[in-house]
């Protein structure tokens, strides 16, 4: 299978102190790792693409590790995660789907025992296209305080024959979370949902 | 601290290839941005000295963040730039008060030197507005390989009564510079120009 060619890497870290309400004792931190790779399937229909997922695994691990570092260095700090992809216009949405397995695998590998499905989104786009990466609690998808999203994008990517891959992690609930629902303290953590 | 900060965002970009050609070592740039309350939003205030002092604080804070994001010592930085976007209830002059009178000295203190003018841009805009931070070599403005710019945006800032302030620092110039002009090894570094 094709090698993974990386053109550039972008890391975005947000540290949120308040959003008009009281300043949090512990600011919420969110980080996204973005990687721009060449799309080996651009410009043509290729029936067999699935084995490229295996090739993407080391990249996913590198990105997941960099997020843990960006958020303080300890996987224990991570409470939410999400992933996404923007496929350049010479590619297919299906090429973005190649990121599901390696992206999810990488974050679970780094975070240990994360149980919840990794929320995701994908689209075909162009240079500067923005992606709202959905974020949910790592152990229980229904934790309402951790439903979040991070908007990301790169001014010069993805080019037509590129894919922009994203992983995102957060250190806690929305900064002024107060709409009820399942709390992180109530998680059973068995099924990944509650 | 005088500045009332809602959030701080850091962006790191690392370019590894361009047009299939390897960039070795990769070029790296970082920007740190703060979203602050605009104390003068919605009214005309003659004396802007409070914003000037905020500029001084942010000069230290954001430069330290950007340098830390690159993982380098201040003196290893090669180029820099600054920019601000004022929310809809503010004046362009508010951006000027932050950027121009007092912000530069602490930037240069963190970076060790900085004989050159810090290139800047400013605008008024809403949440998600694009900020193109101009970049120039920190000791000699005419170094052609380091004429550059870094685009950033924060999807939820600046709100009407906020100001987004950003400082960008690099450890390199453009990825594959080849349009001649003054090169960094020819810098005298006395007048800030050559």
In a domain, A25, yes or no: no
Kindly state whether residue A22 falls inside one of the protein's structural domains: no
A151 touches chain B (CB under 8 A): yes
Instruction: State whether residue A6 is helix, strand or coil.
Output: strand
Q: How far is A194 from chain B (nearest CA, A)?
A: 30
Tell me the pTM: 0.88
ipTM of the complex: 0.80
Specify the number of domains making up chain A: 1
Per-residue confidence band for A2, with pLDDT thresholds at 50, 70 and 90: confident
| pLDDT tens figures, A35-49 | 999 999 999 999 999
Q: Which residue has the tokens 């030197």?
A: B113
Residue A110 counted as domain residue = yes
Question: Does some domain include residue A27?
Answer: no
pLDDT in tens, A71-87: 999 999 999 999 999 99
- Written as six digits, the tokens of B187 are 């810098």
Asked if the Cβ–Cβ distance from B11 to A6 is below 8 Å, we say: no
How far is residue B33's CA from residue B35's CA, in Å, rounded to a whole number?
7
| Contact check, Cβ <8 Å, B13/A10 | yes
Where do we find the tokens 């605008």? Answer: B123
Confirm or reject contact between B24 and chain A (CB < 8 A).
no
Nearest in space to B8 (alpha carbons), one of B69, B53, B89? B69
* pLDDT values of chain B reduced to their tens digit, one per residue, 194 residues: 899 999 999 999 999 999 889 999 999 999 999 999 999 999 999 999 999 999 999 999 999 999 999 999 999 999 999 999 999 999 999 999 999 999 999 999 999 989 999 999 999 999 999 999 999 999 999 999 999 999 999 999 999 999 999 999 999 999 999 988 899 999 998 888 99
Mention the CATH class of domain B5-186: alpha beta
CA-to-CA distance for A28 and A172, rounded, in angstroms? 6
Query: B-chain residues within 8 Å CB-CB of A130?
Result: 155
Kindly state the tokens that stand for A105.
Answer: 């695998």
In a domain, A143, yes or no: yes
Phi, psi of B60 (to 5 degrees): -70, -55
B149 touches chain A (CB under 8 A): no
Determine, for residues A15 and B15 on separate chains, whether the beta-carbon distance falls below 8 Å: no
**Do B79 and B135 touch, CB atoms closer than 8 A?**
yes
The CATH number linked to A53 is 3.30.1330.110
Chosen for mutation from B150, B155, B174 (greatest number of chain A CBs closer than 10 Å) is B155
**Which runs of consecutive H residues, i.e. helices, occur in A71-155?**
93-97, 100-111
**Does residue A151 fall inside a structural domain?**
yes
Q: Which of A2, A4, A5, A9 to mutate to test the interface with B (most CBs of B within 10 A)?
A: A9
Tell me the nearest-neighbour CA distance from B70 into chain A, angstroms.
11
CB atoms B8 and A18 under 8 Å: no
Residue B151 sits at the chain A interface (C-beta within 8 Å):
yes
Instruction: Give the rounded distance of the alpha carbon of B124 from its chain centre.
Output: 17
Question: How would you write chain B as a 3-class SS string?
Answer: CCCCEEEEEEEEEEEEEECCEEEEEEEEEEEEEEEEECCCCCCCCCCCHHHHHHHHHHHHHHHHHHHHHHCCCHHHCCEEEEEEEECCCCCHHHHHHHHCCCCHHHHHHHHCCCCCCCCEEEEECCCCCCEEEEEEECCCCCEHHHCEEEEECCCCCCCCCEEEEEEEEECCCCCCCCCCCECHHHCCCCCCCC
Q: Identify the domain containing residue A140 by its residue range.
A: 6-12+33-170+177-186
Interchain proximity B151–A155, CB inside 8 Å: yes
Nearest to A7 among B8, B17, B155 (CB): B17
Inside any domain, residue A24: no
A97 within domain boundaries: yes
Chain A residues 91-120 with CB within 8 Å of chain B: none
Q: What is the pLDDT of residues A153-173, one digit of tens each?
A: 999 999 999 999 999 999 999
> Which residue is associated with the tokens 């890497």?
A9
CA distances from A63 to A15, A31, B29, B131 (A): 19, 11, 18, 26
Give the relative orientation of helices B49-70 and B104-111 as an angle to the nearest 10 degrees.
20
pLDDT of B20 = 87
Residue A1's pLDDT is what? 60
End-to-end CA distance of chain A: 39
Cβ–Cβ contact B155 with A under 8 A: yes
Q: Select from B3, B4, B15 the residue whose CB has the most chain A CBs within 10 Å, as the one to mutate to test that interface.
A: B15
**Percent of chain A having pLDDT more than 90?**
94
- B12: contact with A, CB 8 A cutoff: yes
């Amino acid at each position: 299978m094709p090698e993974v060619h990386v053109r550039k890497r972008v890391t975005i870290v947000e540290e949120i102190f308040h959003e008009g309400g009281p300043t949090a004792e512990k600011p919420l931190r969110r980080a996204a790792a973005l990687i721009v790779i060449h799309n080996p399937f651009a410009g043509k229909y290729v029936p067999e693409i699935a084995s490229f997922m295996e090739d993407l695994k080391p990249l996913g691990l590198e990105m997941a590790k960099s997020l843990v570092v960006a958020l303080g260095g300890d996987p224990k700090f991570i409470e939410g995660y999400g992933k996404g992809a923007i496929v350049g216009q010479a590619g297919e949405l299906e090429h973005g789907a190649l990121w599901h397995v390696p992206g999810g695998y990488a974050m679970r590998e780094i975070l240990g025992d994360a149980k919840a499905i990794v929320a995701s989104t994908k689209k075909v786009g162009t240079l500067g296209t923005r992606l709202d990466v959905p974020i949910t609690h790592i152990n229980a998808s229904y934790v309402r305080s951790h439903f979040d999203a991070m908007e990301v994008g790169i001014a010069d990517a993805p080019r037509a024959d590129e894919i922009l891959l994203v992983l995102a992690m957060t250190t806690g609930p929305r900064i002024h979370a107060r709409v009820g629902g399942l709390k992180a303290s109530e998680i059973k953590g068995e099924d990944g949902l509650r | 601290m005088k500045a009332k900060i809602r959030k701080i965002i850091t962006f790191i970009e690392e370019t590894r290839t361009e047009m299939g050609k390897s960039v070795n070592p990769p070029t790296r740039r970082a920007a740190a941005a703060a979203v602050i309350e605009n104390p003068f939003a919605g009214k005309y205030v003659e004396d802007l000295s409070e914003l000037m002092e905020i500029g001084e604080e942010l000069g230290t804070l954001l430069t330290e963040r950007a340098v830390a994001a690159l993982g380098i010592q201040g003196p290893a930085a090669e180029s820099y730039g600054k920019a601000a976007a004022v929310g809809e209830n503010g004046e362009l002059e508010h951006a000027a008060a932050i950027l121009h009178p007092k912000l530069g000295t602490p930037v240069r203190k963190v970076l060790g030197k900085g004989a050159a003018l810090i290139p800047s841009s400013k605008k008024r805009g809403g949440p998600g507005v694009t900020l193109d931070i101009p970049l120039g070599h920190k000791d000699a403005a005419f170094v052609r390989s380091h004429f550059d710019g870094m685009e950033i945006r924060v999807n939820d800032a600046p709100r009407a009564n906020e100001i987004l302030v950003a400082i960008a620092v690099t450890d390199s110039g453009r990825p594959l510079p080849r349009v001649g002009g003054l090169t960094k090894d020819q810098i005298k570094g006395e007048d800030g120009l050559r």
